[in-house]
Amino acid sequence: MPSTRPFLSPRDHSVTTTPFFRSIFRALSVTLALLFLGAGEGTTAEPEETLRDVLVQTYESNPQLASQRAILRATDEKLPQAKEYWFRPVIGATGGAEWEYEESGQGFNAAGSGLVSVPYKTRSLTPDVNISLDFPLFRSGQTVYNIKAAEAAIDTGQWDLVSTEQSVLGQAAHAYADVVLYRSLVKVDKSEVKAYVPLLQMAKDMYQSRTATITDLAQVEVELAEANATLANDQGLLEVAEANYEAVVGIEPSTLAPLPRLDPAVVTLEEAEAFGLKNNPLIRSAEANVQQAHYAVSSRKTALLPTVGLSASFENSWDNYRVISPASSAGTGTQDMTVGTVGVSATIPIYSGGVMYSYIREALQDETASELSLKNTKRQQTSALRGAWKHRKALERVVQSYLGAVTSAKTAVEGKTREYKNGTTTMQEVLLVQESLYGVLADHATASNQLFHTEVVLLQNMGILTAAGFQLPLTPYDPNKNLEEVRDKLIGW
């Protein structure tokens, strides 16, 4: 998340001018002043991790991005599902066997008819098998519209994946910037605290020798306490920033390179807006949603039209029986039966309780809602892009102003240090200009951080904050690979 520390608020540190400071600080060495001058600057031999390195690590390991890819692969299955009736047969087979045992007892002359039943026993086994086939011939375009709606849903899913990619990479960039910021502020704070320690010791020595008052000592202690409080606050914010970095990127932050400038690759706001309308994934996803809703309406309407289908079946059964008694009829036998049918049927919907018309009205309202959602998304994203563009321009001027102020503050420290050596000024005045330098260094770092955050948002609104947009040195995920694998897949998972 972007830093919440306001970059325009100056530090409130101050050193009260007293005779004590005007007298005792003449003994302070010039080395102390140079320590202030070098605050916030330094070099390290450890290899620096750049923003591109961070984005590569995030792209390849972030679970949120991996989850969205799995969601898209699930969405890809809508296409083969929509092709269920696209000249594809539905074949089924059933089979079974029936065992039967039948036994009758001694009969009698039924009402003197002369028909006397004979006791008998039989048993039989009758296996059978049935194979059926249904083949759609004509569905009034319903399958065609279902396929188009599925393709639009996949387009929506692919743009949603781009949106998630931008969001995740944006989180990584923001986390990177905040770690850089608070590490810089902590370095400045430590230098400031370090500079006050010898002053405090000097004040204590002067107090013990009765050449300073308890008030003078208290003033130095206040300055050191405020510097320590600022350091503790920034260290806490740094720990939060590093924890957020690890959560997004997946590793602890090492030595990070300074924040780079992010070029949007366009010169004017109008060019940026046109680029955003074409490439912003939220806008493109909303456009695909409109197409999906449009095809859903057409699919619902075609459900009122006739459908024609071919059906065929084949059934065979084998009756294997055995007569056990009477002895005169004992023996075995087989009776086969085969039935085959082929037919063409047409189904014409006439009335279904009004539910089909309700489905159509529902689809029409969904289409209207998606169109309005697209309009709202364009308005919001364009407004956000304009705001980021203008804020970026303003922050560029702020950073440039602070950069000039840093140069001026360093010059002032050098001048006051020379004046102090010559005895033409007090250490109080030296400390005041050094305090100003600390404030400008901190404000410049924070303003640079805010400019970076704004550039990240601008690139995100333009649809550039992707692995392809940054030309990251990796093999990007291909969303069409799985789609082509399952598009016409008939068997298997």
Q: What is the pLDDT of residues 359-368, one digit of tens each?
A: 999 999 999 9
Residue 114 has pLDDT above 70, yes or no: no
**Distance separating alpha carbons of residues 366 and 287, to the nearest angstrom:** 13
* Residue 334: burial class (beta carbons within 10 Å; 0-12, 13-18, 19+): exposed
Q: Which of 345, 352, 358 is nearest to 307 (CA)?
A: 345
CB neighbours (10 Å) of residue 464? 22
Residue 218 has pLDDT above 60, yes or no: yes
pTM above 0.85, yes or no: no
Q: What is the pLDDT of residues 139-170, one digit of tens each?
A: 888 999 999 999 999 999 999 999 999 999 99
Question: Which residue type, as a one-letter code, is found at position 442?
Answer: A
**Distance separating alpha carbons of residues 316 and 319, to the nearest angstrom:** 10
**Distance separating alpha carbons of residues 171 and 247, to the nearest angstrom:** 10
Burial 9-36 (b: 16+ CB within 10 A, else e): eebebebeeeebbeebbeebeeebbebb
Give residue limits of the domains in the chain.
19-89+139-305+352-486
**Spelled out in words, what is the top-level CATH class assigned to the domain 19-89+139-305+352-486?**
mainly alpha
Residue 427 has pLDDT above 60, yes or no: no
Task: For residue 66, give both structure tokens.
Answer: 């991996």
Using a pLDDT cut of 90, give the percent of the chain over it: 52
**Distance separating alpha carbons of residues 319 and 99, to the nearest angstrom:** 10
pLDDT score for 195: 73
Q: What is the pLDDT of residues 377-416, one digit of tens each?
A: 999 999 999 999 999 999 999 999 998 898 888 888 788 7
Cα 36 to chain center, whole Å? 43
Q: Which of 402, 409, 410, 404 is nearest to 450 (CA)?
A: 402
Greatest distance between any 2 Cα atoms in the chain? 153
